[in-house]
Structure 1
């Protein structure tokens, strides 16, 4: 018979969880008012079954991946430890990644060119919005499977920094290739990344540069280049925006015909230009050289260095990183000619990073990907046509949307936020809880996904419940159980800490989803 334990109110559970997530603390989501008295009744047991990374290693790997799993921990140990793994991740070409690229074949139109996609839309075969749904699905699955975790994390970071929303129309014909261009440069030099993104057809279409002429310069791209992509607000004025727009005239796309990129010399606005401290005679009707010089200058500008340093620190350390650290990272960036890897290396070596355990809330995409990884859900290729909507590889897009937002769906050019406040609301928490329970219960999606059966989560039968909790904590959270976590698990499934779990116990027969969800709903899981 199960032991009856005091149960806190649902309001207490939700409010406590939300406040814990917002603060970035590692505690109990579900522990109620009994936490203060829990020391003796809920002393955690120790199940000897898994080799865990140390706390600092778990923090480093967890912050620069989509969740530490037993498989990833094995890769870290094989690399020689967390620091060695991190160094190897900075050179993604040196990291073998079997099978990840093949996932793209699940959605064939991701490999089609812009002209073909436009022709298919025009003839009613397939709309570009459908292809963009597939692109969002592909990046989620790629993040789940790839061994190049740091590359995927940084690719997402830069795709949001240089945001080209997938929910437009015309830019969708080039959006997959745009993401490819960012992934190729995500750990290189920012100067190269800036050139690749600002002159890419997807960006030119998204910010209306395709219609920017010498007679009527469109200021959208010229402004966002300064405000969002490089130096930031306060570093420029309206005259700088106008000159920036003039420099970028000529870069265009053959709209609504082939959608191929073009440089139109007749559209380029010649004549001297000055943007902040950049000046150029701009005498040639072919303005590609002045564009290259301009972007190279912006990439190396001290204001750009500091803005990027702060944004990276907010993403990987905390919402209020120390100014001294931001200055240090900016100097590393400038000293290494805009190389990204040295900045990440310096960031990860900082005291501020070491102290930032549990300080960053997972956004909806990170939450969903980490949930699939933690539960070790194996996906298979979806079938073609509408029948594939119920398959996990397709349905996960609706799951992440239910939590908060789909990848690169942010409609404004500033990109998805990297701070905690945007993702720490009670409504977000409840949405995450709902998805966690659906996955843990194997209830949805049901097709194209291989879940572990309930008994698979139990390392041996019989087993004491507190030992099972410690085992699951190691597998799902990559850490030992705590007083608060054990109490939360006992309350969630109405089982006593020392209760004996057998194969026909009610926990195994029908209540395992609630137990697994307790781990996924904890701040230890909801934070990076």
Structure 2
């Protein structure tokens, strides 16, 4: 806003930290950082005391989509009776995530929940596992800032994962290898670091975990279906004599979580997501040592990551993915999202916006999960999609239902004119929380036809009909699209 206290802006290093581990800076986030005593202190509180940031505005939106809290049996009955399909329920899940990310004051928890949902991936599409998918996300949220060994145990044996990777019906007579393989390749050791014998043993260990796919949709453990006999995966070996294989499952998952290859795999993905697409292996090795030293705790790894020289010098090196672009645009423009009252309400439409840019939350169809590298998003079609979305929202043209946009009057002073260059700077500070660069001013001049020293007041054409051009120019800039 014009006249905003320039000292109130976060420093570049602070902005880098809260942008990389958040969804876009707004006034509330900047205030939280200042109250915490700076970005580092804020980050530490986000890691260890997220409850210090009241999140009622984010929590309350869960009630907007009541199907997300219905029992699996009720959801399945709704699908087979054609009351409401699983795909519709999962669209609600994606919408809930997007609105929650717009409103949250706990972005680090939200970001890490998203990260693990991407790595330990169960897609939101699917005619069976949708029944447990919202619960799966909540399970990850509970462990997102805790220990990876606990997270791995909770997700591997969760009904959604069991159903998705066909382990829900795996038995000693016919062990299904899907989960046993993906557990090794995607969730722990990494591709190329295990043998086919390891896959077979991994799959045998996991037999006995079931979900009733026909009537109750309840999760259970059936001892009679557990394969018994000696199993060996890498350095893990167990005589596995008991019919109840739950203990050996937990021992096995704990072994995998603490394996050095898992430490490298997890830390490389973290560094790729939060530092840059080609993180130095020296950084990955340092993070892996921290991971193992701290018994797979995630918080110490994140502290080491943000303290690294590689992180400090990586500002602007990552591209926002489709969902991040949508959320950051709503936050930057200060769009207030209300409870949906009709099909094309903004809270519903933002899922279509993310899909239009390439992918809605957790809709990646393959087990390998949403990519954390930029190259898949860095395409001409993505750029055009983002520009189209920014333009529609800059003008407040779509979506409109159950949304409240800011008016140009909140940027243009009422009583006296302002030079265009100063207006661009004020808008940049407001939307991006940073001063306008020379390149941004040049872009804004081209986009609007205004000269840098031209005087802008309430009667100027820019205010009367052309303000969307300025807002869109700022949103289309690398200062917004990159983080």
Give the TM-score normalised by the residue count of structure 1: 0.89
Q: State the SS of the aligned residue for 2:376.
A: helix
Q: State the SS of the aligned residue for 1:99.
A: helix
1:499 corresponds to 2:457: no
Q: Distance in 2 between matches of 1:145 and 1:326?
A: 32
The answer to whether the 8 A contact 1:46-1:467 is kept is no
1:414 corresponds to 2:368: yes
The answer to whether the 8 A contact 2:258-2:292 is kept is yes
Q: Which residue of 1 aligns with 2:477?
A: 522
Q: State the SS of the aligned residue for 1:176.
A: helix
Equivalent of residue 70 in structure 1, options 18, 23, 27: 27
The answer to whether the 8 A contact 1:50-1:474 is kept is no
Alignment of 1:6-405 (within 5 A): 49=6, 51-91=8-48, 92-383=50-341, 388-405=342-359
Q: Distance in 2 between matches of 1:489 and 1:106?
A: 38
Q: State the SS of the aligned residue for 2:57.
A: coil
Q: State the SS of the aligned residue for 2:295.
A: coil
Q: Distance in 1 between matches of 2:365 and 2:5?
A: 48
Q: State the SS of the aligned residue for 2:220.
A: strand
Q: State the SS of the aligned residue for 2:180.
A: helix
Q: Distance in 2 between matches of 1:71 and 1:101?
A: 16
Q: Structure 1's 382 and 516: CA in aligned 2 closer, same or farther, altered over 3 A?
A: same
Give 1:49 shift.
5.0
Q: Which residue of 2 aligns with 1:442?
A: 396
Structure of greater relative contact order (alpha carbons < 8 Å, 6+ residues apart): 1
Give 1:459 shift.
4.4
Q: Distance in 1 between matches of 2:321 and 2:469?
A: 23
Give 1:111 shift.
1.0
Give 1:458 shift.
2.1
Give 1:97 shift.
1.3
Q: State the SS of the aligned residue for 1:262.
A: strand
Q: State the SS of the aligned residue for 1:252.
A: strand
The answer to whether the 8 A contact 1:273-1:282 is kept is yes
Give 1:122 shift.
2.4
Q: Distance in 1 between matches of 2:464 and 2:127?
A: 49
Deviations 1:362-381 (A, max 9, x none): 00000000000000100111
Deviations 1:294-350 (A, max 9, x none): 000000000000111111000010111111111100000000000000000000000
Give 1:47 shift.
7.6
Give 1:183 shift.
0.5
Give 1:99 shift.
2.4
Give 1:94 shift.
3.3
Equivalent of residue 427 in structure 1, options 369, 381, 388: 381
The answer to whether the 8 A contact 1:49-1:471 is kept is no
Deviations 1:131-175 (A, max 9, x none): 100000000001110100001111100000011011111000000
The answer to whether the 8 A contact 1:492-1:518 is kept is yes
The answer to whether the 8 A contact 1:195-1:292 is kept is yes
Q: State the SS of the aligned residue for 1:496.
A: coil
Q: Distance in 2 between matches of 1:368 and 1:134?
A: 16
The answer to whether the 8 A contact 2:78-2:84 is kept is yes
Q: Distance in 2 between matches of 1:83 and 1:521?
A: 29
Q: Distance in 2 between matches of 1:470 and 1:57?
A: 19
Unaligned 5+ segments in structure 2 are: none
Q: Distance in 2 between matches of 1:208 and 1:450?
A: 45
Q: Distance in 2 between matches of 1:490 and 1:141?
A: 33
Give the TM-score normalised by the residue count of structure 2: 0.98
Q: Distance in 2 between matches of 1:67 and 1:179?
A: 22
Q: Structure 1's 239 and 80: CA in aligned 2 closer, same or farther, altered over 3 A?
A: same
Give 1:126 shift.
1.4
Deviates more, 1:47-56 or 1:79-88: 47-56
The answer to whether the 8 A contact 1:159-1:179 is kept is yes
Q: State the SS of the aligned residue for 1:210.
A: coil
Q: Distance in 2 between matches of 1:278 and 1:49?
A: 58
Aligned-pair Cα RMSD in Å: 1.3
Give 1:290 shift.
0.5
Give 1:190 shift.
0.2
Deviations 1:397-426 (A, max 9, x none): 111100110101000000011011111111
Alignment of 1:457-472 (within 5 A): 457-460=411-414, 461-472=416-427
Q: State the SS of the aligned residue for 1:279.
A: strand
Deviations 1:74-95 (A, max 9, x none): 1100111111100011022333
Unaligned 5+ segments in structure 1 are: 1-44
Q: What is the number of equivalent residue pairs in this alignment? A: 480
Q: Distance in 2 between matches of 1:102 and 1:71?
A: 18
Q: Which residue of 2 aligns with 1:513?
A: 468
Q: Distance in 1 between matches of 2:138 and 2:97?
A: 11
